[in-house]
Structures are given as C-alpha cells and as structure tokens.
Structure 1
Amino acid sequence: MSVFVPGHITGFFNIENHDSKLKNGSCGVGFLLSKGVSTTIQKSDSFDFEVNQGDDTVIREVLDIFNLDNDDFKVIQDIQLPIGAGFGTSAASALSLSLALNEFLDLNYSMELCGQIAHMAEVNLGAGLGDVIAQTGHGLILRTKPGAPGIGEIKSYSHDIYVAWKTFGPIETSEIIRDPKHKKIISEVGVKYLEMFEEDPTLENFIAFSARFSEETKLMTDEVKNQIDYFNSMDNILGSSMAMLGNTVFAFAYDEDAFKNMDVEGLHIDKLNNNGIIYD
C-alpha cells in the first residue's frame, strides 16, 4: 500500500497556540508541489523501515500515537524534497504514513482522524503547525481556521502555473515557532496579510503579501533576498518570496521557459499541484 502526500510551501502565516494539540496550529496561505513524500507499507516478519533521507523520528512518533499491537510490516519512505527547508516534509511523512497504515491494516479510520494523528505528531515534534491540513487540499491553499483536519478549515484554489524553487539549506522550525519574540512578530504581521488576502484571494496577492511578510518579520536571509531580487528583475516572473520556514526561495511564472532560460545553480522547476493526495 502506497500513499503520496505533496510538499507544501507557506508564504505567510500566523501562529495560534491552544492547550489542545488538535486545535494548536496556524492560519496562513501556501501552495502544494508535485513532489512530496511517498510512503509504502509492506508485509514483513518484523517491523522495519527504510528512508531515503533523514531518520525515523517522524515514523516512530506516528507509530507511538497509533499504539499498534502488531508490527509485522515494513515502512518505506521516499522523501522527494529537502528536509527542514520549508517544504512540509515532516508533515507529508506523518500524513502519508498515517493514511498508508490505515489502508494496510484495514483500520477504517476517516481521513480526518488520520490527519489528526499526523498533526499531533507534528505538534509533538515542534516540526510545524499548519502543513498537515494544507496537504489535504489542492493548489493554492488558504488556512482560515487553525488546527488539525476536521477541526481547522481550509479553502483551495486551482491555478495553472509554474513554480521554481532554490534552497540554501534548513532553518530550525521549532526554535522559531516556540520563541515568544518570533511568535509575536509573525502573528501580528501574519494576521494583517491574512485579512487582506481573504478579501481578495488572488495569486498576485499571495505573492505580494508573502514578500512583504518575509521582509517585515525579518526572517529573510541575505542569500534569499539576493535570489528574490534576481527573480524579480526578470520580465516574465510574476514574483518571488521566501518559504516559511526554510532558507528557500520560490517564484511563479505562467511560462516554464521563463525559468529554463535562467542561470541559477540548483534551480528546480515544478508545477502547482492541483491534485493533492494520491493512493496507489
């Protein structure tokens, strides 16, 4: 049994902490990529796992929450995006594993319950607050109410558009989302742009508000700023900003050739994912 969950990049957000882990989360706007995390469950004599990058931290956390009596299976994860660089890989890992286990073991859990297990794993690990519920949607995604699937709320918008990204490495998400100073600034600026986006949820506003958010929160590094300036100097680029939270730049264009003609080392070209989760 295999389940693919797309990667998710957030452009801007605000943190909304709650005593309940299922209500703890964030509101924001982001988008899905065609690459993400694929989890395959196979029959085995004893529990085993195989991950192409990273370790088994997320896998172990999800399995602990499931509290399974049997462990006669093998977990294989193909993580197709950089870890810790703002692509929601830990959330995609947790959600794809939850969904795959549900199918493989015939647990008959709902999508919402599987999503809640993945969300709890994310909160427990300090890895993220809003990626899981966003990854249940498609295209460009507005998170209007914080929390896990079935508790939080999202709106999805489809767009036929190309996206390119370049990463300069990871940012420690847990240090930022747990730091009072960062949380205050992020939430104040995030609320402002969320309200503006909800009034006019266009792709152009998403790009513009994302750029302003990254500047006003002072989360943008010099290398990210230089890359954004380069993207924005090109005529065929709609705009560029920083992935939250990662030392990563993303840009949008209607024409794939706008990116192909660029001389940018380590540039990856993708399309906005309007399909979402895939079962195989």
Structure 2
Amino acid sequence: MTNSVFVPGHITGFFTIENHEIKLKNGSCGVGFLLTKGVKTTVSPSDNLIIDVNQGGSTVIDEVLSILELKNTDFKITQDIQLPIGAGFGTSAASALSLTMALNEFLNLGYSDELCGQIAHMAEVNLGAGLGDVIAQTGHGMVLRTKPGAPGIGEIKSFDEDVFIGWKTFGGIETSDIISDSHYTEVISNSGDKYLELFEDNPTLENFLEFSSKFSHEINLMSDEVKNLIDYFKSSSDILGSSMAMLGNTVFAFAYDEDAFKKLNIENLHIDKLNNTGIVHD
C-alpha cells in the first residue's frame, strides 16, 4: 500500500514574529497565499529506510522521523519538491506536513490532521526554518493568520480568489538568520502589526498587494534585482500589484489574466494560479 499527500507552497506578503517559549505557540501572524505547486510526499513499502528527494537534503525528513521516533522503521519516502528551496515558498513546512500526513496514513497511526500539523510545526520551529507556513498550508486561497502557533492553537481565515500569479526567484534568504535577529524582529513586527490591523479591517486582494509592497520596502530586505523587477511589474497596467516573498529573494505579482504575464519580457518567469483547493490526499 502506498500513500501520497500534496501540500501547496505558501508565500507570505507581510507578517509579525510572535516568539513564545512553548514551541507550539511560537509562530507568526500575517497574510499570504497558496500556490498550485508545492511538495508531494509518497510513502511506500520497503525492506529498509530509503529517502529519495528530488532536491535538497533530508534535514526536514530526519527531523520529522526523529519527533515520531521512526528512525528504525522500514519504508521508502519519496518527495517531489516542486518549488525552489529557501526562497520564500514554504517548502520545508510543506515537506514536514506532507510527510507527517503520509506517514500517518501509511502506518495507520490514527493521528488527526491537527496533530499532524502540530508535529510538522514542531519540526519547523526546531530547525528554525519558518514560523507560520504550516498552519497557513492547512487553508486555501489567500490565508490570513490571526493567531500565532501550530494548527489547533493558531487561527487562520481563508479567502478564495480567481487570480493568476507570476513569480521569479533570484535565490534564497536564510530565514533563521532573520527571525533570530533582534533588529529585524522589531522592524518586521512593528511594520507587520500595522498592516495586519489594516488588512483585518478590510481583507481585499488589493489591500494585500498594497500592504505587502509597503511592508517589503519598510523592512529593507530587498535586493536591487528584486526591487527592479517589482518596479517593472508595476509599470504594466495589467498587473494588479507586485511585492517580495517573505522570506526569500523572490518577486511575485498578481493578474486576472494569464496573458498579462506572457506579454512581459521576463526571463525564467513562472506563471501559477491561486490554489483554492489546498491539501490533497491521494
């Protein structure tokens, strides 16, 4: 018997850092959105433990197996990571969550989806990889994180939109370096609090794009290449808005029409669509 779970990638537009001594309450509030690409994890029978990942290493897998105390169990784990690692797409969270859910089904552990999410969140916090992607990835469409923490502790609201997304990455930003730096923690949270309050009062697509853009400028993490591409996107009347993925050296933009992106002269531009479905179990 083989079990597969797909968890969508997640891009954050703006956020606050909410540190807590209890790991399951550690996290962030903010607003982001889900992509149709993400991480698909398949667990299948094997005579020994086999880990097959199409990019990156097995750090996240090893952490989840350690939490579940499954190091000596025999099965094959195959991961198809469909987005760049470390570039603001929540791939480590998608890896942890899809793996936990697939193992739960394969081994008949009887865990709830909520508990699987808490295990994945714990792995993320332990690795310093992210603060709010796991709970966001349990939603669909655009996701507002209103209370920090793991699934069952934090709280989210989802909003579906029929919109296309263009993105291009220039590489990664080391998330752990930013979220552990007291200066960036203060700057990010002060700016994020302001825009989170404004968005909660009027949660529209237009406000998400406007606040994301202002937030990215205020926290001052944009490289020149990111800034130049954002400006180029905004020069087109067909583009609804553009900003920087948090936290990654990546630019995203929204448009109602896929052709709006195809008409632009941008090398290595990826075109996706907002994922209004969420997690898929095969």
TM-score greater than 0.5 by the shorter chain? yes
SS in 1 for 2:214: helix
Q: What is the one-letter code of the residue matched to 2:33?
A: F
1:265 maps to: 267
1:146 maps to: 148
Q: Matches of 2:37 and 2:229 in 1, distance apart?
A: 22
Q: Matches of 1:64 and 1:11 in 2, distance apart?
A: 32
Equivalent residue for 2:137, pick from 125, 135, 138: 135
1:186 maps to: 188
Q: Matches of 1:228 and 1:56 in 2, distance apart?
A: 33
Equivalent residue for 1:176, pick from 175, 178, 181: 178
Q: Matches of 1:68 and 1:4 in 2, distance apart?
A: 21
Q: What is the one-letter code of the residue matched to 2:186?
A: K
RMSD across aligned positions (CA): 0.6
Deviation of the 1:70 alpha carbon:
5.0
What are the ranges of 5 or more consecutive residues in structure 2 without an aligned counterpart? none
Q: Matches of 1:69 and 1:19 in 2, distance apart?
A: 27
1:19 maps to: 21
Output one character per residue of 1:191-213: Cα deviation in whole Å (capped at 9) or x when no partner: 00000000000000000000000
The verdict on how the C-alpha distance between 1:76 and 1:69 changes in structure 2, with shifts beyond 3 A counting, is closer
Equivalent residue for 1:221, pick from 212, 220, 223: 223
Alignment of 1:212-251 (within 5 A): 212-251=214-253
**Kept in 1: contact 2:65–2:71 (CA 8 A):** no
Alignment of 1:81-160 (within 5 A): 81-160=83-162
- The count of aligned residue pairs is 280
Q: Matches of 1:18 and 1:184 in 2, distance apart?
A: 15
Q: Identity of aligned pairs, percent?
A: 74
1:196 maps to: 198
Deviation of the 1:68 alpha carbon:
2.5
Alignment of 1:24-39 (within 5 A): 24-39=26-41
Q: Matches of 2:119 and 2:223 in 1, distance apart?
A: 33
Are 1:79 and 2:90 an aligned pair?
Answer: no
Deviation of the 1:221 alpha carbon:
1.3
Deviation of the 1:67 alpha carbon:
1.0
Output one character per residue of 1:229-280: Cα deviation in whole Å (capped at 9) or x when no partner: 0000001000000000000000000000000111100100000000000001
1:44 maps to: 46
Deviation of the 1:69 alpha carbon:
7.1
Deviation of the 1:118 alpha carbon:
0.2
Output one character per residue of 1:114-168: Cα deviation in whole Å (capped at 9) or x when no partner: 0000000000000000000000000000000000000000000000000000000
Q: Matches of 1:177 and 1:163 in 2, distance apart?
A: 26
Q: What is the one-letter code of the residue matched to 2:81?
A: I
Q: Matches of 2:48 and 2:238 in 1, distance apart?
A: 54
Output one character per residue of 1:24-66: Cα deviation in whole Å (capped at 9) or x when no partner: 0000000000000000001000111000000000000000001
| TM-score (structure 2 length as normaliser) | 0.99
Q: Matches of 2:125 and 2:182 in 1, distance apart?
A: 16
Output one character per residue of 1:74-120: Cα deviation in whole Å (capped at 9) or x when no partner: 10000000000000000000000000000000011000100000000
SS in 1 for 2:102: helix
Q: Matches of 1:87 and 1:69 in 2, distance apart?
A: 28
| TM-score (structure 1 length as normaliser) | 0.99
Q: Matches of 2:142 and 2:174 in 1, distance apart?
A: 25
What are the ranges of 5 or more consecutive residues in structure 1 without an aligned counterpart? none
Q: Matches of 2:32 and 2:166 in 1, distance apart?
A: 14
